[in-house]
Amino acid sequence: MALSINQISAAIAALQLACEKALSPNFLKKLSLEKGEPWQRWIQRLTEIMEQNLFPTTVSKDGSSPFVAFVWELQRCLPVEHRQSTHSYEALATAILRTPRYMSESTPTFRDT
């Protein structure tokens, strides 16, 4: 099923809003979060946005999935201090798979390749 330009536009707008909120200095100060938790919440929200707009969110251990490549590119737009697991696609895939959304057995998003 091909996505319409309106679906892609809506996904990008939702993603932009989520990223702007996550990068807001006051947003993180208001929350009492453990180290790495904002990034995990960002991945969870990004996954929701992508799924709502019918984009793939499957993550492979070797980092070869389109979602891992997408997160890799998005992270390049973030300040360095907000990035995680930037030394390889495999490391990023592992970090994504450790987020609560991907650890849930009720949502089969993991494929072993």
- d(C-alpha 2, C-alpha 15), whole Å: 20
9 confidence band (pLDDT: 50, 70, 90):
confident
Greater model confidence, 12 or 109: 12
Structural domain spans, the chain: 5-111
110 confidence band (pLDDT: 50, 70, 90):
very low
Q: Which residues pair with 59 in a beta bridge?
A: 110
Place of tokens 């490391």: 91
Length of the chain: 113
Instruction: Find the mean pLDDT for residues 91-99.
Output: 94
Query: If you ran DSSP here, which 8-state letter would residue 3 be given?
Result: P
pLDDT tens digits, 17-73: 877 776 676 665 665 556 777 888 889 989 998 998 889 999 999 999 999 999 999
- d(C-alpha 45, C-alpha 35), whole Å: 17
pTM tops 0.85, yes or no? no
